[in-house]
């Protein structure tokens, strides 16, 4: 089954938060959804500009981009050269599907959120949280972005090893999402059994798989 169906992505704006594969997830979803309508990629934080689809800084440029491709990216550049949110009005509804990277994790597989995170657009219809299974079995201080916040949520020291139960409880404590996607499941032996605590603890659907391998299923 296609990933967008498992995650129940709907027309309108979808925000993606968390860690361990947000950018890769957005690319997979964009490619799948482009067979069903136009897809706009954007961010409310700071990301590198995608180099695999047309890019637009203005509303007119975005219209031109969609004239030649079902997928486009829009945004404005920071002084450091990173991409941030588009600065023209109406971008939140400028495509059939608007996919927004609304969080940062410094390329780590787990994270806890500071008070100002994630940066969720109020127009969102669905929020997908990503967690990287490669965090499991590693100390909080090595695998989590903002370990000083993650450890208290886990009721553990920064040196404690992240377990499925711990990670699930941290995600449940933070909440704010409609579905969880666990990426990097290919690093686990017996992934379904190891990841079962996520489905037991969280009050939302859980999907797991490997974006790198193009494989996923519901937990």
Average pLDDT over residues 165-178: 98
Those residues with Cβ within 8 angstroms of residue 190's Cβ, 6 or more apart along the chain or in another chain: none
- Report the percent of the chain where pLDDT is more than 70: 100
Residue 184: pLDDT over 90: yes
Using 50, 70 and 90 to split pLDDT, how confident is the model at 77?
Answer: very high
Quick one: pLDDT at residue 95?
98
Residue 106: pLDDT over 90: no
Of the two residues 106 and 174, the one the predictor is more confident about is 174
Residue 213: pLDDT over 90: yes
CA distance 37 to 173: 35
The reply to whether the predicted model has a pTM over 0.85 is yes
- What average pLDDT does the structure give for the chain? 97
Domains delineated in the chain: 3-218 (3.40.50)
Alpha-carbon distance values, 136 to 128, 142, 144, 159 (Å): 20, 11, 10, 13
Q: Are strands 124-132 and 110-111 parallel, antiparallel or unpaired?
A: unpaired
Nearest CA to 20 out of 119, 190, 135 is that of 135
Average pLDDT over residues 58-72: 97
Quick one: pLDDT at residue 156?
98
Nearest CA to 52 out of 85, 33, 26, 16 is that of 26
Those residues with Cβ within 8 angstroms of residue 189's Cβ, 6 or more apart along the chain or in another chain: none
Residue 15: pLDDT over 90: yes
Distance of CA 210 to the CA centre of its chain: 14
Torsion of CA 138, 141, 143, 145, to 10 degrees: 160
Q: Would you say how long the chain is, in residues?
A: 219
Using 50, 70 and 90 to split pLDDT, how confident is the model at 62?
Answer: very high
Residue 104: pLDDT over 90: no
Using 50, 70 and 90 to split pLDDT, how confident is the model at 196?
Answer: very high
177: which 2 tokens? 């999402």
Quick one: pLDDT at residue 181?
99
What does the pLDDT look like over 115-163, one tens digit per residue? 999 999 999 999 999 999 999 999 999 999 999 999 999 999 999 999 9
Nearest CA to 49 out of 16, 14, 86 is that of 86
Phi, psi at 196, each rounded to 5°: -55, -35
Residue 105: pLDDT over 90: no
């Amino acid at each position: 089954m296609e990933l967008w169906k498992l995650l129940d992505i709907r027309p309108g704006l979808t925000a993606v938060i968390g860690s361990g594969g947000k950018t890769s997830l957005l690319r997979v979803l964009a490619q799948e959804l482009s067979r069903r309508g136009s897809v706009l990629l954007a961010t409310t934080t700071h990301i590198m500009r995608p180099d695999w689809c047309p890019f637009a800084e203005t509303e007119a440029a975005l219209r031109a981009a969609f004239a030649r491709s079902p997928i486009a990216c829009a945004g404005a550049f920071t002084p450091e050269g990173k991409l941030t949110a588009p600065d023209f009005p109406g971008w939140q509804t400028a495509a059939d599907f608007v996919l927004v990277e609304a969080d940062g994790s410094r390329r780590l597989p787990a994270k806890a959120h500071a008070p100002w995170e994630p940066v969720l657009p109020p127009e969102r219809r669905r929020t997908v949280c990503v967690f990287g299974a490669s965090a499991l079995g590693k100390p909080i201080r090595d695998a989590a972005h903002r370990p000083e916040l993650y450890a208290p949520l886990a009721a553990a020291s920064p040196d404690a090893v992240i377990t499925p139960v711990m990670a699930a409880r941290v995600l449940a404590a933070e909440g704010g999402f409609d579905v969880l996607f666990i990426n990097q499941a290919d690093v686990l032996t017996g992934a379904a059994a190891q990841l079962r605590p996520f489905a037991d603890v969280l009050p939302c659907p859980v999907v797991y798989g490997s974006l790198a391998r193009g494989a996923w299923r519901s937990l």
